[in-house]
Structure 1
Amino acid sequence: MKKIILLFSPFILGSIALKAQSLETAHHLYYHERYNSAENEYHSILNQQPEKPEAWLGLTMSYLAEAMPIKAYDTLLKAPSTIREEPLYQVALGSALLFQDKKTEASQLFNAALKETKEKDETVLGSIAQSYIEYKTGDANYAISLLTKAIKRDKHNPAWKVLLGDAYRKLNNGTEAYKAYKEALDEDENYAAADYKIGEIFLTQKNPELYLEYFNKALAADPEYAPALYQLYVYNFYHDVPKAFQLYNQYLTKSDPSIRTQYDLTDLLYLNKEYDKAIQKANDLIAKHGTDLEPRIYKLLAYSYVETKDSSKALDYMKQYFEKEEDSNLIAKDFELMAGLYANTTDKKDSAIVFIQKAAGLMKDSTALFNYYKKLAGIAKGNKDYASEAKWMEKYYTGNDKATNVDLFNWGLANYLAQDFQMADSVFGMYVAKYPEQSFGYYWQARSNASLDKDMKEGLAIPVYKKLIEVLQSDTTNSNYKKWMVEAYAYLAAYEANTQKDYNEAVDYFEKVLEVDPDNADAKRYIAILEKNNSTEGSK
């Protein structure tokens, strides 16, 4: 068998000088993730040299990089029969089958290639390892064993060590992955892929200082290395929109046209607050790609229409987004937006509640979760559903260190309006314990107890009204002073007259009402009645 000297991997290929200039160009394009251009170049080669197995492998891996295993397989079936037993062709066909989840058939082809080369061909070893690394459930440990053999035969090729790092990353072993990438750089300090891969490690660790450093190193080593440029664009997308636009335009010149770049432009237009342009671009994408479009474009349209104050269109596009997107991809913010849009629709308040409840169910961040509870309470209040308002205010207040006295008060008041006077008493009891100098808690606790004891038999509200009077007397400038003092004294007078039958005490309390409100006609009338009763009782 003729020895294959081509080293195939997305990073290997970019660094190999080959005699065939067109094949080198194809590998270079693949290395820089310009897969469509690479496919065209490989096809051009195969049209002239159909018996070139390394070109069939390159074409296959290009298709797989774009998630087109069926197309890769169908194309491989067009290869001349004379190369069907070539190890690299077998690796290509095995890879196409593996990515269609046909593991047994793939393994048979891989084993045939390994047997034919006696496991001494680094290209066959590395290419099989690459497929297992990139396949979603591939055996990374087996890939490591193959790469170890490849490295023994080709010790100074940084590409194998980058692939070895990828295998370790698949096993979530960042330490060994980092070590392998560093060893690749020891072999070639300008090997951009190694710097880029180290950057990805720090990206997963959310360490921007380091991942930006390594992405920039990759770009400095190879200004054409588009993957690093794209990551820098993504970072600036959230931090510096003008710079993101600049990086995006650079990326366009160094990458193949793709729908992803069109998505990115639409995102940038939205982020730059060019909402009309974002809407136009999104609609162009829908017209061109139809059902193949990512559902998130419908969400972007919805957000754009929210910004242009067209809530009707925003709701329509969010409905389409929910219809098209997988449930597992929906996030809390999606439900929150739907809730907000329904809340602005007169006859859809119930739908708003359903969606905000779903948002709360998905939210893990406690601060955001509390905000959802507050919104639910607000919607319930708007619907005059005070029992629900009380339920959500309890959730909002409990364990929330940012909740205020107003929130505690509103929780209590919602219970009162829902006629859950027992709970209202408890909440206002919490209020007076926490804010003993404020009159609000005492007043509403007194009213709650009065509602629990409507015939005044138990006198539940008496001690609270007395405490209210005490607190109010300490600040006669209180805007509620006169109204609440009159109510408190009148309630005490009624209790003395109706329950205790102590008419003299009742008169005393009504006279206190007149001290606060000299023109109070009710107090004067009741005093006259009580004094008459006292006179009648005394004459008996």
Structure 2
Amino acid sequence: MKKVFFLLFAAIVTVSGATSQTIAEGIKYLNYKKNKSATDVFKKLYDANTKDAQNIYWYGQALLAVDDVKGAKAIYQKALQEGVNDAWILIGMGHLEIIEGGDLNAAKQKFEQAITMTTETKGKNKNKPNPTILNAIGRANADGGSKQGDPTYAIDKLRQAAALDLTNADIMINMGINYLKLGGDQGGEAVKAYQEAINRDPKNALAMYKIGMIYKSQDNKLLFEQFFNDANIADPAFPLSYNALYDYYANRDVNKAKENIEKYIQYADKDCNTDFLFADYLFRAGKYQESLDKAKAMETGECKTYYQLPLLYAFNYDRLNDSIQAKNNIEKYFAITAQDKITPANYEIAVKILSKFPGSESKTIAYLQKAIDSDTSIANKIVYANQAAELMGKAKMYGEQIKWLQTAVKFKGGTMGEADYYKMANTAFNGKDYVATMEVAKKYIEAFPAKPQPYYFNVRAAKAIDTTATLGTAIEPILQQNVYLLGDTSLVNVDKNKKAVFVNYYYLLKYYNDVLKETQKAIDITDKMLILYPTAGGEENTFATQTKDALTKALSKSANKSNGK
């Protein structure tokens, strides 16, 4: 599951001063995703006092941070069994309900019970809920993927908390995360929440980083670099911004990537993730064998079950042209990895690898759909949709290709560019859907009347519909194309256009004479041929002259018969 950890409870701890500082340090480790360090801190606190509700709560949160859901559940259940019936434990259990995909209403009942248990019964805050409890509820709903929890419910609780506690920046960070869980269109509200967190705590590196990540998803380099750098000015030991910058530069600037990954490794916990990222850097730097060797070394130690190890193998085997190993490892990665841990880039490499194997189209398309669903960047969604369209085209699944092209257009806001029209018309034609080809071609002509391609598609599709050339389907498209071709007077196209128009005239000639039996219309076409090629002796002129003579004689003979001569 994707973990989000936040600064929380700066002034809420009711235990001793020394313990309070230790809890604050542990929370900071969680916030910085130094999860191993956080687990060590909270385990010591828990071991020192297994009945303290906050110790129990935070130890469980640390276990969740390292994906030990069973461990966290055991800690919370043990507390309840031993009579620690506290609001913090209820929130922890509700959090687990969300993470495990359980009954959301049951989780909310636990949250509401926690609120009731901690609502003031006297003094100036009588009947007011405890803002730290509301904040913890917001935190629980902020964890996990977009389908987990109830962000709308959480935002309501966090707004109450923000009104009651005007200084806690963490409330606003949790609010921002929950806004993002509502969808990418809530990015503006998330930025406002994070900015308010900075207003409350000008040194809040996490809030700056969170804003930077939103701008990174929009590929706004100027702004995301500004906020990532601000985060590291606020705290040079904050590792997450270095990681984000490494991710950006990994395929763009090896030197900057190296600088940032070294900073990240310097300040992050030394664990399987840092080993993975260093191996990933070696891969990005083109040192595939070194990266592969690092992966093999990880497999012999504590990191042998690390979920990203198969991904590392897939990267390197793909570049080393071992497609079978690459395919086996990328499929293993998706089999063992929780959905909310998989990034759009991971789906992209899966598509690249599986595209080499005919018959894998359905699985590849499924990965592209997941990439679209998980990526907040509209530009990236368009890329994925076009990739899917290209894949379907190669598989000659033209109906599906058109659907994906339409999906790409939808992501663009519904406005089709010239390339979109061309792809759509070409796909429909390749799929032998000639009626659809003509429909697209007509719209293509309206949008880009000065381009030759739409007229070409319109004529070819019309001819394909009328295979016997007797229905007249192609007549109007041909006349329309001729107007365009004769109006294109650019020197580079004159000879080519004349030949195309002559071929069109031949089609019209045959239709008027052979099908409609309108000899005069056929003669008129030969006159147009002669205007096009007036010089005697040429192949086209000779054909037009001889045909006109023959048609004129036939018309005269027919007229004489009609007159009884």
Alignment check: 8 A CA contact 2:292 2:316 kept: yes
Partner of 2:554: 533
Q: Which amino acid aligns with 2:476?
A: P
Alignment check: 8 A CA contact 2:209 2:231 kept: no
Q: Separation in 2 of the partners of 1:349 and 1:180?
A: 50
- Residue-by-residue CA offset, 1:431-477 (whole Å, 9 max, x unaligned): 21122233332343233334444556663433332232222222243
Q: Separation in 2 of the partners of 1:439 and 1:7?
A: 79
Alignment check: 8 A CA contact 1:279 1:301 kept: yes
Q: Which of the residues 377, 381, 404 maps onto 1:369? A: 381
Shift of 1:481: 0.2
Shift of 1:37: 6.6
Alignment check: 8 A CA contact 1:374 1:393 kept: yes
- Residue-by-residue CA offset, 1:171-209 (whole Å, 9 max, x unaligned): 545746671469xxxxxxxxxxx9799433444454866
Query: Does structure 1 residue 491 correspond to structure 2 residue 491?
Result: no
Q: Which of the residues 445, 450, 457 maps onto 1:437? A: 450
Q: Separation in 2 of the partners of 1:317 and 1:489?
A: 60
Query: Does structure 1 residue 506 correspond to structure 2 residue 522?
Result: yes
Q: Separation in 2 of the partners of 1:291 and 1:526?
A: 83
Query: Does structure 1 residue 325 correspond to structure 2 residue 337?
Result: yes
Q: Which amino acid aligns with 1:266?
A: A
Which segment is superposed worse, 60-69 or 454-463? 60-69
Q: Which of the residues 192, 196, 205 maps onto 1:199? A: 205
Query: Does structure 1 residue 292 correspond to structure 2 residue 312?
Result: no
Alignment check: 8 A CA contact 1:129 1:146 kept: no
Shift of 1:408: 0.8
Query: Does structure 1 residue 109 correspond to structure 2 residue 84?
Result: yes
Partner of 1:304: 316
Shift of 1:364: 5.6
Alignment check: 8 A CA contact 2:57 2:76 kept: no
Q: Which of the residues 272, 276, 289 maps onto 1:263? A: 276
Alignment check: 8 A CA contact 2:91 2:137 kept: no
Query: Does structure 1 residue 414 correspond to structure 2 residue 436?
Result: no
Query: Does structure 1 residue 519 correspond to structure 2 residue 529?
Result: no
Query: Does structure 1 residue 99 correspond to structure 2 residue 119?
Result: no
Shift of 1:500: 2.9
| TM-score in terms of structure 1 length | 0.64
Alignment check: 8 A CA contact 2:434 2:461 kept: yes
Alignment of 1:53-64 (within 5 A): 64=60
Q: Separation in 1 of the partners of 2:204 and 2:119?
A: 19
Shift of 1:429: 0.8
Shift of 1:526: 4.5
Partner of 2:488: 475
Q: What SS does the aligned partner of 2:432 have?
A: coil
Q: What SS does the aligned partner of 2:477 have?
A: helix
Shift of 1:430: 0.7
Partner of 1:179: 167
Alignment of 1:10-409 (within 5 A): 11-12=21-22, 34=37, 64=60, 66-67=62-63, 99-102=75-78, 104-106=80-82, 108-109=83-84, 136=95, 139=111, 142=114, 167=136, 170=139, 172=158, 175=162, 179-180=167-168, 198-206=204-212, 213=230, 216-217=233-234, 228-238=237-247, 240-251=256-267, 257-289=270-302, 292-294=305-307, 296-327=308-339, 329-346=341-358, 348=360, 351-353=363-365, 355-357=367-369, 359-360=371-372, 365-397=377-409, 400=412, 403-409=416-422
Shift of 1:103: 6.1
Q: Separation in 1 of the partners of 2:294 and 2:477?
A: 65
Shift of 1:532: 4.9
Shift of 1:320: 1.5
Can you give the 5+ residue segments of structure 2 that lack an aligned partner in the other structure?
1-13, 26-33, 97-109, 125-129, 140-156, 171-199, 215-223, 249-255
Q: Separation in 1 of the partners of 2:302 and 2:88?
A: 35
Partner of 1:123: none
Q: Separation in 1 of the partners of 2:60 and 2:258?
A: 34
Can you give the 5+ residue segments of structure 1 that lack an aligned partner in the other structure?
16-30, 47-51, 73-94, 112-127, 153-160, 183-193, 220-227
Q: Separation in 1 of the partners of 2:240 and 2:458?
A: 59
Q: Is the alpha carbon distance of 1:268 and 1:61 closer, same or farther for their aligned partners in structure 2, counting shifts above 3 Å?
A: farther
Q: Which amino acid aligns with 1:109?
A: V
Q: Separation in 2 of the partners of 1:403 and 1:509?
A: 37
Question: Number of matched residues?
Answer: 443
Q: Which amino acid aligns with 1:67?
A: L
Q: Separation in 2 of the partners of 1:162 and 1:361?
A: 34
Identity in percent:
16
RMSD: 4.9
Shift of 1:497: 0.6
Q: Separation in 2 of the partners of 1:417 and 1:494?
A: 27
Q: Is the alpha carbon distance of 1:282 and 1:429 closer, same or farther for their aligned partners in structure 2, counting shifts above 3 Å?
A: same
